[in-house]
Amino acid sequence: MSNYISDSSNLHWMVSNPARTTRTGMDGKSFRCPFCADNESDTPPETYRAGEGEPNKPGWQVRVFANLFPITDIHEVVVHSPDHEKNIENFSLEQVENIIKTYINRFNFFKEKGKVFIFHNYSLISGASLVHPHSQISVVPNDIPTNTIAVQPAINIIEQNNDFVSYCPEYSEWSYEIWIKALGQSKFEDLKDSEIKNLANILQLMIKKLKKIHSKNSHYSKKPFGYNFYISPNDPWYLRIIPRFMERAGFELSTGIMVNSIEAKRASEELRKMV
Ligand SMILES: [Zn+2]
């Protein structure tokens, strides 16, 4: 069970779930990857798949099941593909669309149960405990306050297509963080196929650009490439990509004020030029 705890002011919240201390891959023992094709029996029963085949058998392109080590009481894993290493920057556009369609399916399935957070941790540096690329769907009860930043104005534009814009907001807490938002009023759960295609396209393009920024800057390359992204359940929604080029340290932890020495305008210019 998830245990939500507030501080004495009721302004700050944390959640604890002791079952997570035994997460797969965190006990130092060797194991076979439960997210790879043919290992479907190592996971809880699947709740959704994109692709062919029978449930809990190979043939899938994207696969969803309950998280064995949940943070929240409703918590699912979305495996991005049967491939152990490939991720969004290497997939066909169609595969990225499959992942977004899966997110939308799970969002709609759970939206009456609470606030649905969709997030992806890529590489161990971003907090992932299993390397096989996957996202997570986590539902926070409506009565637990969450502190998600509201959508920020779209300035410092990097790229724009018919439906979406990517940009570095003035309020950028992390170096080179990228926000993607809809140009119109489309809600995430109602995106049409043509919009999903354009979202997949701009998301993939931005991650490719971040990977190049990482490899171009030798001081970042001491650490592997990693990032988080999440889709805000607020209205209007947005997708925020946070590259993990830098660590958080004592100043941020003590003040709650984030340090970002790469100006958002400069970051957007570098990202725009990066091909
Ligand atoms: Zn795997």
Q: Is the pLDDT of residue 25 over 80?
A: no
Q: Is the pLDDT of residue 27 over 60?
A: no
Quickly tell me which residue has 């907090």 as its tokens: 127
Output the CA angle 87-92-95, nearest 5 degrees: 75
Ligand 1 geometric centre to CA of 132 (Å): 5
Average the pLDDT over 60-65 and give the result: 98
Average the pLDDT over 47-59 and give the result: 97
Q: How far is CA 78 from the centre of its chain?
A: 11
Q: Which residue stretches of the chain are H helix?
A: 93-110, 193-216, 250-255, 264-273
- Taking the C-alpha atoms of residue 97 and residue 108, their distance in angstroms, rounded to an integer, is 17
- Whole-model pTM? 0.93
Average the pLDDT over 86-115 and give the result: 98
Ligand 1 geometric centre to CA of 83 (Å): 6
Ligand 1 geometric centre to CA of 122 (Å): 14
Ligand 1 geometric centre to CA of 130 (Å): 8
- Taking the C-alpha atoms of residue 252 and residue 26, their distance in angstroms, rounded to an integer, is 27
Cβ-contact 155, 167 below 8 angstroms: yes
Can you name the residues that pair with 164 across neighbouring β-strands?
Answer: 182
Cβ-contact 37, 29 below 8 angstroms: no
Cβ-contact 207, 227 below 8 angstroms: yes
Ligand 1 geometric centre to CA of 84 (Å): 4
Cβ-contact 176, 266 below 8 angstroms: no
Ligand 1 geometric centre to CA of 35 (Å): 5
Ligand 1 geometric centre to CA of 67 (Å): 15
pLDDT at 127 (0 to 100):
79
Ligand 1 geometric centre to CA of 15 (Å): 28
Residue in 34, 77, 82 with CA at minimum distance from that of residue 58: 82
Measure the N-to-C terminal CA separation of the chain; round to a whole number of Å: 46
Average the pLDDT over 124-145 and give the result: 91
Read off the pLDDT band of 180 (50, 70, 90). Answer: very high
Ligand 1 geometric centre to CA of 131 (Å): 7
Domains and CATH numbers, the chain: 3-98+110-140 (3.30.428.10), 157-273 (3.30.428.10)
Cis upstream peptide for 236 (omega within 30°): yes
The rounded mean pLDDT for the chain is: 93
Ligand 1 geometric centre to CA of 85 (Å): 7
Read off the pLDDT band of 10 (50, 70, 90). Answer: confident
